[in-house]
Chain A
């Protein structure tokens, strides 16, 4: 077989010609992202859960609040802990754990999980000043700790975008019972739940979103799928903070009169290619533009899911399932 054909040269040339004319292989333009779908309350064994699918990528976030007894004053890192698992069936590159291999290399899944945890910690550290931790503290020694489990079920590109949307949705879904602390003998603290159970919620509109911009040839593409990801030279992930976008509000990046790029809290380059400085400027501007559109769409979807939840309708069973 020809070596050039083995490397996929012809399909690479075909793809580059397609994106130069602003036409991708799945019919999108270069700046068009795949619309996300958000499901809240998919796991009844925990107090908050969300699932986000975005063109084949599937990320599930589960929040399990737990009560911890501390011996020192809690800091902001004690309230939320993040754990990320990349499923081996999500992508063939994650199926490398425990391989009996002579080559001592880095596991792709553990690398990806570590970078995802760092991104989640960056998201949390950027909003910790606006967050209200008074509900998290039960007594002087007891606090609520949110254990946030992120599971990547399918990786078809744009997993970090999916993860940020799912985390935002999961914090919209979480409901924590209010704990009453009472004093018992010898200074011990007893924790009780009132017979009339009340719940408290977190502010979900603080959580930011992440947009991945890919460099392919001379073009900047948003939300590449797995097929396009093979030929991506380098990619830049931009995380942006924004408030909740109400219905009817359309955010136009060109008409903004303040510097929105001061709210970029996360920027990271991936893959084994260098980028020109002008490319980073263009990719950053494109990432901001797309993230603002995603905020409008994601917040509308979350409000729709919350309304459905109030009406006690099961959103998972509303989907049509086709059996072969």
Chain B
């Protein structure tokens, strides 16, 4: 009888799997290797590029949000609201998204993501969000989601939760994990994952993986994305109240 004491593929807090509960592994004497006990060479560096968020940068619009990740710049602004009558259909969305036409294929998930968190208490007001990409140097989806979040919050539209997204790439041949890669690094990646969560609701709203890695499996890539989202959430929540202080 050969027993395989196989090491678990992930030691993150979120890797609880129901299959482990059905077949409990007996680790009597073996200590479970924690992720903090790994070597320094294999420890993943969660370092983001310089993040700049701002609001009220455009005049003449209802509200606006701005996000800058390194060299990636995105502006999201709302037009003046329109009032519609009560006879409109209930299937009609009250928030419309107009994506940048040059980057429509990359930003195609933006309406779906925000329909998850948008609430519609007032169906007589219709909003239109315009998304303009100033520069794209990788991580466009993460920056756009942050900019749209700020625009919606400045417009006092009710959201269930904030959406935080992160882009993680695995370098080909060296299997190095790069958090928030730029466009030159994305070209050298063999696996790219875009992962987005609502941190307070603890739900996943964006999962977009292209490519595969020989070192990390699908679950591990999702764990890396989740941890990256948590770290980015702490950075963003530290700066977010400054946008709503009054200048005095």
User: Which residues of chain A have a CB within 8 Å of any CB of chain B?
Assistant: 7, 103-106, 111, 114-115, 118, 122, 125-126, 236, 238, 241, 257, 259, 261-278, 280-282, 284-285
A-B contact pairs, 20 of them (CB 8 A): A122-B211, A125-B210, A126-B212, A257-B4, A261-B218, A262-B213, A262-B214, A264-B209, A264-B218, A265-B209, A265-B212, A266-B209, A271-B112, A272-B115, A274-B201, A274-B203, A278-B17, A278-B18, A280-B222, A282-B18
Q: Is the CB of B211 within 8 A of A280?
A: no
Interface hub of B202, B214, B218 (most chain A Cβ within 10 A) = B218
- Known A114-B104, A281-B18; 12 more pairs at CB < 8 Å: A106-B97, A111-B108, A114-B108, A238-B218, A264-B217, A265-B209, A267-B193, A267-B207, A269-B208, A276-B204, A277-B226, A281-B17
Q: How large is the interface on B (under 10, 10 to 19, 20 to 34, 35 or more residues)?
A: 35 or more
The answer to the question of B153 belonging to the interface, with a C-beta cut-off of 8 Å to chain A, is no
Residues from chain A with a CB closer than 8 A to the CB of B214 are 262
Q: Is the CB of B207 within 8 A of A269?
A: yes
The answer to the question of B219 belonging to the interface, with a C-beta cut-off of 8 Å to chain A, is yes
Return the 10 tightest CB-CB contacts between A and B, nearest first. Answer: A274-B203, A267-B209, A264-B218, A272-B115, A265-B212, A261-B217, A262-B217, A269-B207, A122-B210, A261-B218
Residues from chain A with a CB closer than 8 A to the CB of B226 are 277
Interface residue from B204, B206, B210, B219 paired with A266 (Cβ < 8 Å): B210
Residues from chain A with a CB closer than 8 A to the CB of B204 are 269, 274-277, 280
Residues from chain B with a CB closer than 8 A to the CB of A277 are 14, 202, 204, 222, 226
Residues from chain B with a CB closer than 8 A to the CB of A126 are 211-212
Measured CB to CB, the closest approach of chain B to A113, in angstroms, equals 10
The answer to the question of B16 belonging to the interface, with a C-beta cut-off of 8 Å to chain A, is yes
Complex: chain A residue closest to B172, CB-CB? A129
Complex: chain B residue closest to A105, CB-CB? B96
Interface hub of B18, B96, B108, B198 (most chain A Cβ within 10 A) = B108
Residues from chain A with a CB closer than 8 A to the CB of B92 are 103
| Binary flags per residue of B20-43, CB closer than 8 Å to A gives 1, else 0 | 000000000000000000000000
Q: Is the CB of B108 within 8 A of A125?
A: no
Measured CB to CB, the closest approach of chain A to B224, in angstroms, equals 13
Complex CA gap A125/B189 in Å reads: 12
Complex: chain A residue closest to B207, CB-CB? A269
Q: Is the CB of A268 within 8 A of B205?
A: no
Q: Is the CB of B105 within 8 A of A118?
A: yes
Residues from chain A with a CB closer than 8 A to the CB of B216 are 262
Q: Is the CB of B205 within 8 A of A269?
A: yes
Q: Is the CB of A259 within 8 A of B207?
A: no
Q: Is the CB of B203 within 8 A of A261?
A: no
Q: Is the CB of A265 within 8 A of B210?
A: yes
| Binary flags per residue of B176-209, CB closer than 8 Å to A gives 1, else 0 | 0000000000000001010000100111111111
